[in-house]
Structure 1
Amino acid sequence: MSNDYYNSKVQEIAPQYLSLSFDQVHENWVHYLPAILDKPNANILDVGAGVGRDVSHIANLLAEKYQGDNQCRVYAVEPAIQMLKKGQATTKGQNVHWLQDSLPALDKTTRLEISFDLILLSAVWMHVPTSQRSRSLRKLANLLKPGGKIVVSLKFGMTAEEQHERKMFDVSVEEVEALAQNLGLFSKLEAQNSEDQLGRDGVYWQTLVLQMPDDGTGAFPFIRHVAINDGKSATHKLALLRVLLRIADGHAGAVLRRETSANGDRVILPLGLVALYWVHQYKDLIDYHGLFQTPNQSPNMGFMKDDGWRQLTHRTSADFRIGNLFIGADAKALYRTLSASAQNIRDMPCKYITLPNSDTRVFEVDAKTVRAKDSIFLDLDSLTKWGEFSLPESTWLALSRYACWIEPVLVSEWVKTMASYQGNERLNSSDKQHLLYQALKWEEPVRSTTDVRKRFDTLAATQQMQCVWSAKPLKQEYDIDHSMPFSRWPNNDLWNLVPSDSMVNNNKRDKLPSGKTLNAAKERMQYWWASAWLNNDKQNQKQRFFAEANIALPGLSAQNDSIDDLFEALLLQRGRLKDMQQLSEW
């Protein structure tokens, strides 16, 4: 798109666009809109939102429909900054979130780590060069929920002068439908020869509504194939899939960036984080439960080095988590263990997990040599030192969206695989396999709130404390609540633990706070964060607080130190959990 043209002409263009109503422009497909807005947690994205006419209309419909309890979200993407500013003015006071972003990458939009029920491309497709259209539609398809719709309007009758001035390119229905079909999208509607609402001679429009029948990427069948059908000379493949699933489900902020490639967009993660989770899941499995991970009777795995793994036998899996500090000999041993794990990941599962009927590797590792030091704080920055891990964006999204369905498959196959190994024959009878399931439990055995209680009690000695949810004064009887329910999303980070009245917490239980509830608690929650951790004399507490939040929540940078941005990311994560797990709200 010619951003310069639209930036310079915004004062001329804006009145033209705003002179038309939403219904005039979108009459061909608007009958689909009520069903979308009936979804209480609908996400709607307008790519090329211009001066905000369409998102303003949709936001108004939602405000009228839900009367202050609106948990739907409307996002407006616009690359031209002056158009975006005009759009922000048009939608001032409405529940519309603006992003300066553009096709084909949609980097900022993708970093939100949410999916959409409706994506609108009104008068946009002709601005996308032909060479970028395949990637653009693939990116949009990756952002769709199952059953979600993409509405594309195509402009015909452009003059050569207009195409040059506005950087427009020829379009066709056949091209869009062919690209859509390759992505598993199907066309629900084709409205032809609609007259130009601005009355321009020779200009007409055609509208396509594309729908996603399922995840549309082939990622889910691929994951299932690796878990169930692929050959396993050890548990490496299952381990890598589970590590990636846990990162995708619990650490939306771990994505360093996204890149395009010949086979589709890819997600780039810190290799050190993949290695850390690798250690986390194998540590108790091998050292505490004594379970063999290869078919022979040797307990050794390639990453179990004398100067690394075997120097950490006194540590448990719970120690290998974001926000922890290792010093001295333990730090040096951890450096070596992460390096050995990264090498093992590269040389074993990444080498042998390939596309079906192909030698093409699905996962890629770009490893770096890291010298062991006597101190390491586990956060996003430190874990990037080991290099980068790359996987298909479609696989990442499938792991993120379907984690609660995929993990039981992985664990079940892991149990079957371990039970078949010679070294585990004592546990291969059906009445003992529950012990294998127990050994594979990922969550820490105790979701400890001890440190948070100590901090609360210290503060309560000198000031009045409040329930984050109800504002009731708290005295001796209180609970420490996981704001995002632990049973549904196991997260024991400092930011997720808040003081609560015991009766209120009992009423909330495992429910997800509604958007309205969370917003009502914002001031009290931020006050608790600031007084408990950010104003604490212990610098490591503030460092840990943001390290945990910035990697767990979507859209935050590794350097973020703003609790306002953190709260916005928490609202996004609340929406993601609601979308992915359909949790009951409180």
Structure 2
Amino acid sequence: MPAKFYNENATELSQQYLSKSFDQVHQSWRHFLPSIIANPNARILDIGAGSGRDAKHIAQLAAKTHGDENNSQVFAVEPAKLLAELGVQQTTGLKVKWLTDSLPALSTITKQEVSFDLILLSAVWMHIPLSDRARSMRKLANLLKPGGKLVISLRHSSGSEQAEQERKERKMHTVCADELKRLASDVGLFTKLATEKENDILGRDHVTWQTVVLQLPDDGTGAFPFIRHVAMNDGKSATHKLALLRVLLRIADGHPGAVLRRESGVGGDRVILPVGLVALYWCHQYKDLIDDHKLYQTPNKNLNMGFMKPDGWHKLTKLKSSDYRIGNLFSGDDAIALHKTLSAAVNNIKTMPCRYIKLPNSDNTVFEVASKTVKAKDSIFLDLQTLEQWGEFSLPESTWLAFNRYACWIEPVLVSEWVKTMASYAGNSQYKSPENQYKLHQALNWEEPKRTTVEVRKRFEQLQEHFSNKEPKQEQIRCVWSEKSLNQSYEIDHSLPFSRWPNNDLWNLLPTDSTVNNQKSDRLPTEHKLKQAKERIQHWWQVAWLNEPSASESSTSLLRTAPSASLTNNHKRFFAEANIALPGLSSDNSSVDDLFEALVMQRGRLKEMQQLREW
């Protein structure tokens, strides 16, 4: 986008844009809008939002349609800063989030990990060079929900002197509806509407317009057939392939903040993750299966797998799978052993499943690892920066998005196939009969949900005792949802329900009144209720994890983990967990306001992806 021209002429252009109404400009496709806005949780993306005319209209329509039940959100993207500032003024008080971004990368909006019911590009496509259009269309298709619509208006110019001058000033390129429809078809979109050329409503003789409405019929990427092929049809000399798919699904579902960046490749855009995180989750899921349940993961009667080395894995047998988690600190011999274990896991992932998982009827591998040698040290804190040391893991963006959006449907398929695969191995012959396979399902449980809750309960009780001993006595912790006193009874609530999104991070665990907690149950708090509780939630975060401990507290360790793996200060762990679990946060974020905004964003993602009941 030629931001320079639009910044220099922001006031004049804003007046021009606002001189015509949304209905005048978009009369050809506006009949699609009511059915989109009928969803109270609709997500709309306005790219090239200008001075906010369209974003304002859509946000007002949603507010009028749903009133207090309105959970819709409009994302307005505008690369011209001065024009966007005028747009912010236009949309004050409405559910419009302004972002600075542009095609083809859309890197900022992509980090939000949100998919959209409607994407609008009004007078934008002619700014995109021909060389960037295929990538732009892939990016837009990846941002659509199944059934979501993409509306693009095409500006056609005559060959007049005035038209040529505008093309140079605004850096515009020739557009073609047939080219646009072909690009859309290549990424699985179909054409819902394509108008004839229409006169310019501002009366410019040298300008005509066309509108094309595209729609995503399903996931549109081929990701589902690929995942199904690997899970159900691909040969399995070991459980490596299933393990890798489940690891990636768990990261996509639980750690949207783990994406280091996105890159454009020959076969489409790719997502880049720290391969150390993939290795950490690899160890997590194999830990209990092999060490505790003694389940064979290959057809041979040998429990040992390639990444289980004497100086690494076998020195950590006292640990549990839950110790392989973000926010833990290992020291001494355990740290050295963990370094070596992660290095061995990275190598195993690179040489086994990544080498052999290929697209159907193709020799092209799907996943790539660019690994680095890491020297073992006697201290390792598990956060994103540490896990980046082992290098990078790359996968197609379409596969990442399928895992990200549909984890709750994909995971049961992976677990079921893993159970069948294990039951077929000679070493697991006692589980061959279907009635015994429930034990294999139990062994594949991912989390231990009570572990962190116990820690947080202990922290709450320490703080209550601390505050009660102060003079004058003051109670500083109340129910985050109701503001009730917690002197009598309390519970530790998962703000985002654990049964729907298993997360035991410190930021997600909040003190609540027992009665209120029972009322909430496993429902998702509405956006309004979450925002109402913002001050109390942030107060809990601050006093529990982020403030420096007092002298009376510092003599006692507030949190314990596995032997030789006690945590560093609470502040470091708190943000390490949050920055990798929530979308749109940087790995070095230390702002509770940014964290809360990301929490609201994740709430919307869960509502959108899983259609959870709200509270």
TM-score of the superposed pair, with normalisation by structure 1: 0.99
1:524 is matched with: 536
Q: RMSD of the alignment, in Å?
A: 1.0
The amino acid across from 1:554 in the alignment is P
1:557 is matched with: 586
Which digits, 9 at most, give the CA deviation of each residue in 1:314-372, with x for residues without a partner? 00101000011111110000000000000000000000001111111100000000001
Name the CA distance, whole Å, in 2 between partners of 1:450 and 1:582: 29
1:120 is matched with: 120
Alpha-carbon shift at residue 87 of structure 1 (Å): 1.2
2:560 is matched with: none
Q: Structure 1 residue 286 and structure 2 residue 290: aligned?
A: yes
Name the CA distance, whole Å, in 2 between partners of 1:144 and 1:447: 37
Alpha-carbon shift at residue 94 of structure 1 (Å): 2.0
Q: 1:546 aligns with which of 575, 582, 585?
A: 575
* Structure 1 SS opposite 2:195: strand
The amino acid across from 2:141 in the alignment is A
The amino acid across from 1:104 in the alignment is P
Which digits, 9 at most, give the CA deviation of each residue in 1:398-437, with x for residues without a partner? 0011101111110111111111111111221112111111
Name the CA distance, whole Å, in 2 between partners of 1:533 and 1:448: 14
Alpha-carbon shift at residue 447 of structure 1 (Å): 4.7
* Structure 2 SS opposite 1:383: helix
* Structure 2 SS opposite 1:41: coil
Which residues in structure 2 correspond to 1:427-466 (within 5 Å)? 427-444=431-448, 446-461=450-465, 462=467, 463-464=474-475, 465-466=477-478
Alpha-carbon shift at residue 456 of structure 1 (Å): 1.1
2:596 is matched with: 567
Name the CA distance, whole Å, in 2 between partners of 1:550 and 1:70: 28
Name the CA distance, whole Å, in 1 between partners of 2:107 and 2:197: 34
1:228 is matched with: 232
The answer to whether the 8 A contact 2:55-2:76 is kept is yes
Q: Structure 1 residue 357 and structure 2 residue 386: aligned?
A: no
Name the CA distance, whole Å, in 2 between partners of 1:11 and 1:575: 34
Alpha-carbon shift at residue 512 of structure 1 (Å): 0.5
Q: Structure 1 residue 241 and structure 2 residue 245: aligned?
A: yes
Q: Structure 1 residue 535 and structure 2 residue 564: aligned?
A: no
Name the CA distance, whole Å, in 2 between partners of 1:540 and 1:333: 23
Name the CA distance, whole Å, in 2 between partners of 1:203 and 1:431: 71
Q: Which moved more, 1:304-313 or 1:450-459?
A: 450-459
1:73 is matched with: 73
2:205 is matched with: 201
Name the CA distance, whole Å, in 2 between partners of 1:267 and 1:448: 30
Q: 2:267 aligns with which of 250, 263, 266?
A: 263
Q: Structure 1 residue 513 and structure 2 residue 525: aligned?
A: yes
* Structure 1 SS opposite 2:235: coil
1:407 is matched with: 411
2:150 is matched with: 150
Which residues in structure 2 correspond to 1:458-497 (within 5 Å)? 458-461=462-465, 462=467, 463-464=474-475, 465-497=477-509
The amino acid across from 1:144 in the alignment is L
Q: Which moved more, 1:380-389 or 1:66-75?
A: 66-75
Name the CA distance, whole Å, in 1 between partners of 2:294 and 2:463: 43
2:471 is matched with: none
Alpha-carbon shift at residue 93 of structure 1 (Å): 2.3
The amino acid across from 1:185 in the alignment is L
The amino acid across from 1:404 in the alignment is C
The amino acid across from 2:546 in the alignment is L
Q: Gapped runs of 5+ residues in structure 2? A: 468-473, 555-567
* Aligned pairs, number: 586
The answer to whether the 8 A contact 2:40-2:69 is kept is no
Q: Gapped runs of 5+ residues in structure 1? A: none
Alpha-carbon shift at residue 445 of structure 1 (Å): 5.7
Name the CA distance, whole Å, in 2 between partners of 1:308 and 1:193: 68
1:418 is matched with: 422
Name the CA distance, whole Å, in 1 between partners of 2:164 and 2:221: 37
Q: Which moved more, 1:154-163 or 1:242-251?
A: 154-163
Name the CA distance, whole Å, in 2 between partners of 1:444 and 1:320: 12
The amino acid across from 2:572 in the alignment is Q
Name the CA distance, whole Å, in 2 between partners of 1:365 and 1:540: 32
Q: 1:168 aligns with which of 161, 167, 172?
A: 172
Alpha-carbon shift at residue 121 of structure 1 (Å): 0.3
Name the CA distance, whole Å, in 1 between partners of 2:66 and 2:60: 10
Q: 1:319 aligns with which of 313, 318, 323?
A: 323
Which digits, 9 at most, give the CA deviation of each residue in 1:89-115, with x for residues without a partner? 222222210110000000000000010
1:57 is matched with: 57
Name the CA distance, whole Å, in 2 between partners of 1:298 and 1:65: 62
The answer to whether the 8 A contact 2:449-2:504 is kept is no
Name the CA distance, whole Å, in 2 between partners of 1:447 and 1:399: 26
The amino acid across from 1:206 in the alignment is Q
1:6 is matched with: 6
Name the CA distance, whole Å, in 2 between partners of 1:580 and 1:221: 19
2:217 is matched with: 213
Which residues in structure 2 correspond to 1:331-410 (within 5 Å)? 331-410=335-414
Alpha-carbon shift at residue 300 of structure 1 (Å): 1.4
Name the CA distance, whole Å, in 2 between partners of 1:120 and 1:447: 45
Name the CA distance, whole Å, in 2 between partners of 1:454 and 1:294: 42
Going from structure 1 to structure 2, the CA distance change for 1:448 and 1:2 (only over 3 Å counts) comes to: closer
Name the CA distance, whole Å, in 2 between partners of 1:269 and 1:582: 28
Alpha-carbon shift at residue 135 of structure 1 (Å): 0.5
Name the CA distance, whole Å, in 2 between partners of 1:70 and 1:330: 51
1:85 is matched with: 85
Which digits, 9 at most, give the CA deviation of each residue in 1:453-504, with x for residues without a partner? 1211122221412100001111131101001000010000000000001000
The amino acid across from 1:165 in the alignment is E
* Structure 2 SS opposite 1:204: strand
The amino acid across from 1:285 in the alignment is L
Alpha-carbon shift at residue 536 of structure 1 (Å): 3.8
Name the CA distance, whole Å, in 2 between partners of 1:376 and 1:20: 60
* Structure 2 SS opposite 1:449: helix
1:42 is matched with: 42
Name the CA distance, whole Å, in 1 between partners of 2:433 and 2:452: 34
Name the CA distance, whole Å, in 1 between partners of 2:60 and 2:431: 61
2:108 is matched with: 108
Alpha-carbon shift at residue 571 of structure 1 (Å): 0.5
* Structure 1 SS opposite 2:68: coil
* Structure 2 SS opposite 1:474: coil
The amino acid across from 2:585 in the alignment is L
The answer to whether the 8 A contact 2:237-2:298 is kept is yes
Name the CA distance, whole Å, in 2 between partners of 1:12 and 1:94: 24
Which digits, 9 at most, give the CA deviation of each residue in 1:260-290, with x for residues without a partner? 0010000000010000000000001000000
Alpha-carbon shift at residue 378 of structure 1 (Å): 0.5
